[in-house]
Chains A and B, each alone.
Chain A
Amino acid sequence: MKAQKKLNVVLIVLIIILISIVSFVGVYHLEKNQMVSILPDYVLGTNISGYRKVTLEISEESDESNSETVTTNEESTNDISENSIEENVVEETNLKEENSKKYRDSAKILKNRLKSLKVDDFNISCDESTGKIEITLPENDQTDTILSDIVQKGNFEITDTNTGNVLITNDDVKSVDVSVVDNYGYQIVLMSINFKLSGANKLKNISLDYNENAVIETENNTTDEISNEISNDVLNDESNETSNETSNEISDETSSEENESEEVSKTVDLKIDDSTLLTTGFSKIIDNGVLQLTIGSSTDEEEIKESLYGGYNVASIIENDPLPVDYEVTENIYLQGSFELVNINIIVVVLIIIALIISIFMIIKFKMKGFLSTILSIGYLAILLIIIRFANVTLSLDGVLAIGLAFIINSVFNYILLNNLKNKNLSKEERIKKYYDAVKKYSIILIPLVILSIICCFINWDKIYSFGMIVFWAIIISVLYNLSVTNLLVRNK
């Protein structure tokens, strides 16, 4: 019986060593004359693998107009300088400050646009004297689409197609949502522009003024019918009182405009930076402050993805302020990991040293049991690394440190357990009871870290997400590992 127990312990240790070899060294097979790893590669984060770097500079046109302003200012200040040099200096300083503010605002708007696009792990730096902006962002299939529109000035306007009158601007927009709707296998990409209260009122008036039905009816000169039709529409959503008011308004407006726009179809243009995105009329009154537009439809996944990314871009432009200065992309390159490989090696070495110190402490304090706990911790780490590979968890620098933290987390359990099993004269039942006491205590200790890891998992930022995911997996695996492998060892001791 005792020999059987010893054999079990040896078997468990051998399995742990085998798993460790698989995890740390890898398993390879020959494929096309090359040794290929069976285990999936680690998914590296931007601060380890690489990122896109984009430099934005003030466009020449904008620069010229700026310099013109400066020259005119200089000319005028030359005249003034005859009277006062001080005023000249003050004006120049003011101009510089004004420009610095514009550049700062531009960087802030670009930052907000990237946030709206849910780009994680970006960085923006701005040279306030020249206006040059440097952006670094992760490399993925969305990067090029994002960059294609990043320098758009972003003046969003809804204008009258015929007169060009501006009816709505960015200031009236609250937020923009882009979603995909499945219509019997045919997918439609929808953009919903949510307006602020003032914008919603304007939109309601526009949808009344530019109502396609209203135009047709106007052509037929049946004003009363229009009022009825629209009020019926309105009745679906609003009270009778409102609908009556609305219908009265419409009839008044249509009557007044009857002569002017009898045969002209009334449509509006949706424009970004003077380029028309869409020309449309309104078939019904929009009184909920949401303008819904179809921006793409297809059965092809790739086409939908393209429309969706394009939609996100337009949404990020519309829901943020326009750039105060025109920018152009002067550099767009992919840079491989800014953190040189040698430094990652240093981090790994430091983590190994910490693990060694913990292991030596455990061996000195608990002798043979401490040695076994060290082997258990190595096995735990090996399983964690395998899971990280298979679960496609992004490994950023934060994630690498989280692996070190995972080792410490598991060592805490070993410490509590060995502390409980200090007494050598424990019966099997007592040993198992002490083991479950340790598990209970350990579970409570882990609660704060579970909170931290879950919150980090919800953060849309590569580095923090990586930390959260690894700590989360570390906790799950640690509990399962100690409930199975460690449990077996305790029962067989």
Chain B
Amino acid sequence: MKEKILYIVVIIVFIIALVITAIFGLDVDLNYAEGNTITFTVGKSITTEEIKDIAQEVFGKNKVLVQEVELFGDSALIKTREDVTDEKLGLICSKINEKYSVELEIGDFAVDHIPNTKLRNVIEPYIIPIGLSTLLILGFYAIRYKGAKKMFDIIKFLIIAEGLLYSLYAIGRIKVNEITMPIALTVYALVILIYTTICELKNDNIEKKGK
């Protein structure tokens, strides 16, 4: 009975997550999102933290991504979802000039519009290894535990675990970023490890009782 209630709750959570995704989509991190980039070279040693502070003053907190460009430590790239108007660009220019005592002009800042990264492209490389592994692991389960029950169980638990992870991202509006797929892959491996351990320990108990 408890199990049934649990499954019903899980299904409801999945449906809510799917509805939210259908209406609002998943919340993607700035790195994957469509936006504008500003690339510039200061000519003096800079840190991403300093540039981030300046960019946040202009575009707002948590609305920028700053990366160091090339290896000389004097160039940076700011990415933001906000519009980069001449006014805002001028503000960044003056703040950088003030901070590093340089005389940059607006023309020294290259502004570019960047298209979004399709999540399909992020997920795609994982499909073949996960699919192939799942098939072979199911084969192992069929041989080791003689029958289809454990096979179906592991599929069920994988769907529940990955589904809950997806629901967490969709309902909790957690940003999908570069760590999302590694987490999904680790959860996949963990579910398999834990379930196989449980099966083996159960087998052990059955053997002991048999003796």
A residues at B contact (CB < 8 Å): 47, 55, 123-128, 130, 132-134, 331, 333-340, 343, 347, 396-398, 400-402, 404-405, 408-409, 412, 415-416, 419, 441, 444-445, 447-449, 451-452, 455-456, 459, 461, 463-464, 467-468, 471
Q: Chain A residues near B126 (CB, 8 Å)?
A: 464
B105 shortest CB reach to chain A, Å: 19
Could you name 22 residue pairs across A and B whose Cβ atoms are closer than 8 Å? Answer: A125-B116, A126-B115, A132-B113, A333-B39, A333-B69, A335-B67, A337-B67, A338-B65, A340-B65, A343-B179, A347-B179, A397-B182, A404-B186, A412-B197, A415-B197, A441-B201, A444-B144, A447-B196, A449-B192, A452-B129, A459-B125, A464-B126
**Nearest A residue (CB) for B32:** A125
A343 shortest CB reach to chain B, Å: 7
B residues at A contact (CB < 8 Å): 31, 39, 48, 65, 67-71, 75, 77, 110, 112-118, 121-122, 125-126, 128-129, 132-133, 136-137, 140-141, 144, 177-179, 181-183, 185-186, 188-190, 192-193, 196-197, 200-201, 204
A400 to B178, CA, bound (A): 13
A114 shortest CB reach to chain B, Å: 12
A113 shortest CB reach to chain B, Å: 15
Contact yes or no, A401 B197, CB < 8 A: no
A404 to B182, CA, bound (A): 12
Given contacts A335-B68, A456-B129, contact A449 B193 (CB under 8 A): yes
Contact yes or no, B196 A335, CB < 8 A: no
Given contacts A397-B182, A448-B192, A463-B125, contact A130 B67 (CB under 8 A): no
Contact yes or no, A455 B115, CB < 8 A: no
A449 to B134, CA, bound (A): 11
Given contacts A134-B115, A331-B112, A449-B192, contact A467 B136 (CB under 8 A): no
Q: Chain A residues near B189 (CB, 8 Å)?
A: 405, 449, 452, 471
Contact yes or no, A401 B183, CB < 8 A: yes
Q: Chain A residues near B69 (CB, 8 Å)?
A: 333-336
Contact yes or no, A409 B193, CB < 8 A: yes
B171 shortest CB reach to chain A, Å: 21
Contact yes or no, A123 B71, CB < 8 A: no
A462 to B137, CA, bound (A): 23
A331 to B67, CA, bound (A): 15
Contact yes or no, B114 A134, CB < 8 A: yes
Contact yes or no, B68 A336, CB < 8 A: yes
Contact yes or no, B113 A125, CB < 8 A: no
A130 to B112, CA, bound (A): 12
Contact yes or no, B192 A441, CB < 8 A: no
Closest 3 CB pairs of A and B: A127-B115, A398-B182, A336-B68
Q: Chain A residues near B201 (CB, 8 Å)?
A: 416, 419, 441
Report which of B70, B110, B122, B185 forms a contact with A334, defined as CB distance below 8 A.
B70
A337 to B65, CA, bound (A): 11
**Nearest A residue (CB) for B117:** A125
Q: Chain A residues near B178 (CB, 8 Å)?
A: 47, 338-339, 397
Q: Chain A residues near B183 (CB, 8 Å)?
A: 401
Q: Chain A residues near B128 (CB, 8 Å)?
A: 459
